[in-house]
Amino acid sequence: MTTAHQGACGRCGSGPDEALEGAGPDRRPAGAVTVVVADDHPMWRDAVARDLTDAGFIVVATAADGPSAVRRTLATRPAVLVLDLNLPGLRGDEVCASVIEAGLSTRVLILSASGEQKDVLEAVKVGATGYLLKSASRETFLAAVSDTAAGRAVFTPGLAGLVLGEFRRMASGAAPVRDGEALGLTERETEVLRLVATGMSYKQIAARLFISHRTVQNHVQNTLAKLQLHNRVELARFAIARGLDTPPTPTGRP
């Protein structure tokens, strides 16, 4: 990341189980995105927390090891958990799995120095919404946190294709379905679902189907609710497993 992450921040707790003062839900500004940062390197952890705070996010806690990352996330229930993979006590993928299994609405963004295929796929399999390398710029990182909070899958360039390819490999033996009607989806929701499964962005989907960006978002949220899924990564995996990753023919309907 940028030089902003090369120094420690005096405003952020550096202890392994440190919740920041005023982090309770009654003290949070309306609409603020709350974040927990978990990394075992104090200078990096504090600098990431500082960048988030300066950008208007609310860092409700920091953690230096896996067990405290789970405890702080369960206690503060942030919108996003920014999580390193190499944590003492519990690995990042184990922390992610614990948070997901607890039923929180918290979404997980992995921020790691590793771009190894095994690490990326394991993180996504246990429920991470995104995976970003630590070499990313400050601007890319902050945008990734916002996208993660909104449920949009975020991957360092080059990793998205890897993830979708693995989903297709895993789904190769699954029985396909012809359309989304049996799933309770409308024809338009099924069209959007097919395009999500190809890795297209909301903007690209809107252009393809001749509808607005907001309409695409609404269809995705409705589909997530109907299928009882939590984010675009799960939605793509679901669609691929059922053979719904073939782009539809645009019809021009809203």
Is the pLDDT at 25 greater than 90, yes or no?
no
Lowest-confidence pick of 84-98, 165-179, 231-245: 165-179
Local structure of residue 3 (DSSP, 8 states)? G
Query: Got the DSSP string for 61-115?
Result: EEESSHHHHHHHHHHH--SEEEE-S--SSS-HHHHHHHHHHTT---EEEEEES--
Cβ contacts of 22-26, under 8 Å, gap ≥ 24: 23/58, 23/60, 23/61, 23/76
Residue 84: is its pLDDT beyond 80?
Answer: yes
pLDDT value of position 162: 59
According to the model, what pLDDT value does residue 64 have?
Answer: 95
pLDDT, tens only, 28-72 = 444 589 999 999 999 999 999 999 999 999 999 999 999 999 999
CB-based contact 121:162 (threshold 8 Å): yes
Which is more confidently placed, 203 or 227? 203
Q: What is the pTM of this model?
A: 0.60
What is the pLDDT of the chain when averaged over all its residues?
78
Model pLDDT, residue 161: 60
pLDDT at site 16:
40
Cross-strand pairs, 37: 62, 82
What pLDDT sits at residue 40?
Answer: 94
Of the two residues 88 and 176, the one the predictor is more confident about is 88
What is the per-residue pLDDT for 54?
95
pLDDT, tens digit (0-9, with 9 covering 90-100), for 165-214: 555 555 455 444 445 555 678 888 888 888 888 778 888 899 999 999 88
Reported as a single tens digit per residue, the pLDDT across 99-152 is 988 888 899 999 998 877 778 878 877 888 888 999 889 999 999 999 999 888
**Which pLDDT value is given to residue 37?**
97
Decide: 60 and 75 in contact? Cβ < 8 Å. no
Q: Looking at residue 139, what is its pLDDT?
A: 94
- Please give the pLDDT value at position 183: 67
- pLDDT value for 178: 47
Rounded Cα distance between 61 and 33, Å, is 13
Q: Tell me which of 152 and 23 has the higher pLDDT.
A: 152
